[in-house]
Amino acid sequence: MTWSKSPAGSGTTAVDVDADGSGDTGQARLRELGYKQELKRDLSLLSNFAFSFTIISVLTGVTTLYNTGLNFGGPATMTFGWFVAGAFTMTVGLSMAEICSSFPTSGGLYYWSARLSGNRWSPFASWITGWFNIVGQWAVTTSVDFSLAQLIQVIILLSTGGNNGGGYLASKYVVIAFHAAILLSHALINSLPISWLSFFGQFAAAWNMLGVFVLMIAVPAVATERASAKFVFTHLNTDNSAGIHNNLYIFVLGLLMSQYTLTGYDASAHMTEETKNADKNGPIGIISAISISIVVGWGYILGITFAVKEIPYLLSPDNEAGGYAIAEVFYLAFKSRYGSGVGGIVCLGIVAVAIYFCGMSSVTSNSRMVYAFSRDGAMPLSPVWHKVNKHEVPINAVWLSAFVSLCMALPSLGSLVAFQAMVSIATIGLYIAYALPIFFRVTLARKHFVPGPFNLGRYGVLVGWVAVLWVVTITVLFSLPVTYPVTKDTLNYTPVAVGGLFILVLTSWVVSARHWFKGPVTNLSG
Amino acid at 103: F
The percentage of the chain sitting over the pLDDT mark of 70, rounded to a whole number, equals 89
Q: Which residues on neighbouring strands pair with residue 454, listed in sequence order?
A: 3
Q: What confidence tier does 42 reach under pLDDT thresholds 50, 70, 90? A: low
Angle at which helix 460-477 crosses helix 430-442, to 10 degrees, equals 150
CA-to-CA distance for 516 and 307, rounded, in angstroms?
Answer: 58
Which CATH number belongs to the domain containing residue 494 in this structure? 1.20.1740.10
CA-to-CA distance for 274 and 257, rounded, in angstroms?
Answer: 31
Cβ pair 272, 282 in contact under 8 A = yes
Of 238 and 397, the structure prediction assigns the larger pLDDT to: 397
CA dihedral 113, 476, 285, 38 (to 10 degrees): 40
Of 170 and 482, the structure prediction assigns the larger pLDDT to: 170
Q: Fill in the DSSP letter of residue 2.
A: E
User: 21 lies in a domain?
Assistant: no
CA-to-CA distance for 54 and 51, rounded, in angstroms?
Answer: 5
The tally of domains found in the chain comes to 1
Q: Nearest 5 degrees, angle CA 44-CA 47-CA 48?
A: 85
If we measure between CA atoms, which residue out of 295, 370, 315 comes closest to residue 141? Answer: 370
Whether the per-residue pLDDT at 517 is higher than 50: the answer is: yes
Whether the per-residue pLDDT at 71 is higher than 60: the answer is: yes
Whether the per-residue pLDDT at 151 is higher than 80: the answer is: yes
User: 518 lies in a domain?
Assistant: no
If we measure between CA atoms, which residue out of 46, 60, 17, 15 comes closest to residue 33? Answer: 15
Residue 17: left if φ>0, alpha if ψ -120 to 50, beta else—which one? beta
What pLDDT does 148 receive? 95
Of 14 and 420, the structure prediction assigns the larger pLDDT to: 420
Cβ pair 58, 89 in contact under 8 A = no
CA-to-CA distance for 208 and 519, rounded, in angstroms?
Answer: 38
Contacts of 54 (CB under 8 A, 6+ apart): 201, 204, 205, 208, 357, 358, 360, 361
Q: Fill in the DSSP letter of residue 152.
A: H
CA-to-CA distance for 480 and 424, rounded, in angstroms?
Answer: 12
Residue 360 belongs to what H/E stretch? helix 342-375
Length of the chain: 526
What pLDDT does 3 receive? 46
User: 37 lies in a domain?
Assistant: no
If we measure between CA atoms, which residue out of 127, 32, 75 comes closest to residue 233? Answer: 75
What pLDDT does 34 receive? 64
What pLDDT does 4 receive? 45
Q: What confidence tier does 35 reach under pLDDT thresholds 50, 70, 90? A: low
Peptide bond into 485 cis (omega under 30): yes
Of 298 and 16, the structure prediction assigns the larger pLDDT to: 298
Q: Nearest 5 degrees, angle CA 261-CA 329-CA 152?
A: 65
What pLDDT does 22 receive? 54
Averaged pLDDT for residues 76-99: 94
Cβ pair 149, 182 in contact under 8 A = yes
Contacts of 337 (CB under 8 A, 6+ apart): 222, 223, 224
**Cα dihedral across residues 107, 439, 43, 213: positive or negative:** positive
- Residue 7, number of CB atoms within 10 A of its CB: 11
Q: What confidence tier does 41 reach under pLDDT thresholds 50, 70, 90? A: low
Q: Fill in the DSSP letter of residue 237.
A: B
User: 88 lies in a domain?
Assistant: yes
Averaged pLDDT for residues 227-235: 89
- Residue 291, number of CB atoms within 10 A of its CB: 14
Cβ pair 108, 100 in contact under 8 A = yes
Whether the per-residue pLDDT at 329 is higher than 60: the answer is: yes
Q: Fill in the DSSP letter of residue 267.
A: H
Whether the per-residue pLDDT at 118 is higher than 70: the answer is: yes
User: 26 lies in a domain?
Assistant: no
- Residue 19, number of CB atoms within 10 A of its CB: 9
Q: Fill in the DSSP letter of residue 73.
A: B
Amino acid at 524: L
Whether the per-residue pLDDT at 525 is higher than 50: the answer is: no
Whether the per-residue pLDDT at 156 is higher than 80: the answer is: yes
Q: What confidence tier does 352 reach under pLDDT thresholds 50, 70, 90? A: very high
User: 83 lies in a domain?
Assistant: yes
What pLDDT does 178 receive? 96
CA-to-CA distance for 320 and 307, rounded, in angstroms?
Answer: 16
Cβ pair 260, 101 in contact under 8 A = no
Whether the per-residue pLDDT at 236 is higher than 70: the answer is: yes
- Residue 339, number of CB atoms within 10 A of its CB: 8
Whether the per-residue pLDDT at 13 is higher than 90: the answer is: no
- Residue 156, number of CB atoms within 10 A of its CB: 16
**Mean confidence (pLDDT) of the chain:** 85
Averaged pLDDT for residues 166-188: 94
Of 255 and 153, the structure prediction assigns the larger pLDDT to: 153
For residue 420, the Cα-to-chain-centroid distance in whole angstroms is 16
Helix segments in 235-277, DSSP class H: 247-261, 267-270
Q: What confidence tier does 14 reach under pLDDT thresholds 50, 70, 90? A: very low
Whether the per-residue pLDDT at 98 is higher than 90: the answer is: yes
What pLDDT does 436 receive? 95
Range in 5-9, 402-406, 498-502 the model is least confident about = 5-9
Angle at which helix 395-409 crosses helix 172-189, to 10 degrees, equals 170
CA-to-CA distance for 58 and 155, rounded, in angstroms?
Answer: 19
CA-to-CA distance for 276 and 124, rounded, in angstroms?
Answer: 31
CA-to-CA distance for 91 and 486, rounded, in angstroms?
Answer: 34
Whether the per-residue pLDDT at 61 is higher than 50: the answer is: yes
Predicted TM-score of the model (pTM) = 0.87
What pLDDT does 40 receive? 62
- Residue 411, number of CB atoms within 10 A of its CB: 16
Whether the per-residue pLDDT at 379 is higher than 80: the answer is: yes
What pLDDT does 8 receive? 32
What pLDDT does 49 receive? 85
User: 306 lies in a domain?
Assistant: yes
What pLDDT does 30 receive? 67
What pLDDT does 523 receive? 56
Cβ pair 290, 88 in contact under 8 A = no
User: 121 lies in a domain?
Assistant: yes
Contacts of 443 (CB under 8 A, 6+ apart): none
C-alpha count within 13 angstroms, C-beta hemisphere, residue 356: 19
If we measure between CA atoms, which residue out of 434, 489, 505 comes closest to residue 467? Answer: 434
Domain span holding position 499? 44-512
Q: What confidence tier does 242 reach under pLDDT thresholds 50, 70, 90? A: low
